[in-house]
Structure 1
Amino acid sequence: MPSFLLSSRHIGAFLLAALVVLLFPGQGSQTYAAQVQDMPPGTVGHCFDGDTLRFTDRRVVRLAGIDAPELGAPLQKAGYYAREARKLLSATVLRQRVRLLPAGTVHRDNYGRFLAEVLLPDGRSLNDLMIASGAAFFYPHNDLDSRLQERLLAAQQEAIRERRGMWEHVLAQPVAEKTYLGNRQSLRFFPTDCPEAQRIKPRNRVHFGTLMDAFMAGYAPARICPFWPTAHQ
């Protein structure tokens, strides 16, 4: 008898919770709504590179889930296709009023930049466009929305198969035929001869026979032991 009463109470609590959801359907989306409210639209005034822009109100936005080749410091050589990526981003979005969508559970990075999906006035995703054009690669994170990650990876795989943008040149370089070691926890990969690669725990190691294999699998290059060709190669 006591167990029956306890079960009845649990059922009653469940029915009450269900009733609240039915009567107040907007409550479950309050968190998302608050996130959107925290990211008001803005007009793009400057593009730093192929994945970061600044609004005219001084807010800085990092396109979530993508990474463009590095322009480098003044005395360093730019990465291959870095200038082309910034040129494409500028031509597409400069002086445009865009909307921001939360891209995951983290809304700002360590530099205070907004992490977001950027929607153009016609509704297209700028994040998608940069990947699909071969001007940036997919940069996964555990805190990113899974649907966004799936979409960006699919766009990258198609760009690689079609050899769009940077991929035609990069995949024809000697680095494309080297072997790489990925970390299934961080989803980053290293050249196999990189000392940091040997620190990956054996159970987390993923072996890639070519550079294309690593990118097609949705892994991104680690910052350590860089191998990306320069703009002059």
Structure 2
Amino acid sequence: MRFSVYSKKASLVGAFFVCACMALPAWAFCPAPRDARLVEVARVVDGDTLRLADGRSVRMIGLNTPEQGGKGKQAEAFAQAATRELQKRVRASANQVMLEAGDDPRDRYGRLLAHVYDRRGDNLEAALLAEGLGYVVAVAPNTRLLDCHLDAEKAARDQRKGLWRKPPIQSVADVSQGGFALLSGRVKSVDRNRGGLWLDMGHSLVLNVPLQQASAFTEYHPGSLVGREVEVRGWVVDRAGRTQSSGQARWSLRITHPSMLAIRRD
């Protein structure tokens, strides 16, 4: 009888633990760095960039938030909301955060690439993704928290939070400017050369998987993609002028990680 009572108690405790875990947001399980030191934040530049008191600029890994605008351009939808959310979380952390630099620690602008955590150890990229205030971006080798970030974005997408209230997916036929985009379209053909894999999407747009990264795309055999509807994200580049004479597509988008490409189910 004692064993039976103990078993019931253990079952109740186990059930409570499982329920408690299920109630936590997915991003709550993003692992925080060990023995990380707090650094002072001077200001929040935008939804994915911080300026530290020591003068360093930090670009948050795995997160791309809508652009603030400037130089005659209007701010994108939810750009200000993303900035305000990051400001709120930094203030709640007494303007101090923990940093974990990426394996590739600098971007082309010299900014520190890092995961950012508040004083409690909550990952701030995942927090904004869970609110629907940004997109997951993956650039190898800085992919340690990719699964956690994808879970956070999926939760926001499923709940239609933030920018997912009105799905921001754009048809490849509607591409008219450079910059970050979430696109959908059908693969017309796939070629391979010294520049890597090239997926022709029609409408003068090609997707490029650099040769040095092609081996990571084991899930997608090039031939199997022809005729398939795909969703892809990344930075669209306008190649007008330097490519018109060669007959190449005007628009290109480099796929930096397999997670940036998904086959859409018909």
TM-score of the pair, normalised by structure 2: 0.56
Q: What corresponds to 2:85 in structure 1?
A: 88
Q: How big is the shift at 1:85?
A: 0.8
Shift of 1:180: 6.1
Give the match for residue 185 of structure 2.
179
Q: 1:157 aligns with which of 132, 154, 158?
A: 154
Give the distance between the partners of 1:177 and 1:106, measured in 2 at CA.
Answer: 27
Return 5+ residue gaps in structure 1 as ranges: 1-34, 184-189, 227-233
Which structure 2 segments of 5+ residues have no match? 1-32, 175-181, 191-198, 211-220, 239-250, 252-266
Amino acid at match of 1:44: V
In the alignment, is the contact (CA less than 8 A) between 1:97 and 1:120 conserved in 2? yes
Alignment partner, residue 75 of structure 2:
78
SS of 1:223's partner is strand
CA drift of 1:80 comes to 1.4
**AA at the equivalent of 1:125:** N
Deviations 1:101-123, CA, capped at 9 Å, x for gaps: 133x2011111111111110111
Tell me how far apart the structure 1 counterparts of residues 110 and 65 of structure 2 sit (CA, whole Å): 19
Per-residue deviation, 1:92 = 1.2
Partner of 1:99: 98
Q: 2:202 and 2:120 mapped to 1: Cα distance?
A: 46
Which of 191, 197, 212 does residue 206 from structure 2 map onto?
197
Count of residues paired in the alignment = 178
Residue of structure 2 equivalent to 1:7: none
Q: Which has the higher strand share?
A: 2
Conservation of the 8 A alpha-carbon contact between 1:102 and 1:117: yes
* Match in the other structure for 2:106: 108
> Which amino acid in 1 is paired with 2:185?
T
Q: Which has the higher contact order (CA 8 A, sep 6+)?
A: 1
Residue 119 of structure 2 corresponds to which residue in structure 1? Answer: 121
Residue 204 to residue 111, structure 1, CA distance change in 2 (3 Å): farther
User: Once superposed, which parts of structure 1, at least 4 consecutive aligned residues long, lie more than 2 Å away?
Assistant: 169-181, 190-196, 198-209, 219-226
Q: Percent identity?
A: 25
Do 1:50 and 1:82's aligned partners in 2 also have CA atoms closer than 8 Å?
yes
Residue identity matched to 2:97 = V
Shift of 1:41: 3.1
Asked if the contact 2:105/2:114 (under 8 Å) is kept, the reply is yes
Higher helix share: 1
Q: Which amino acid aligns with 2:41?
A: V
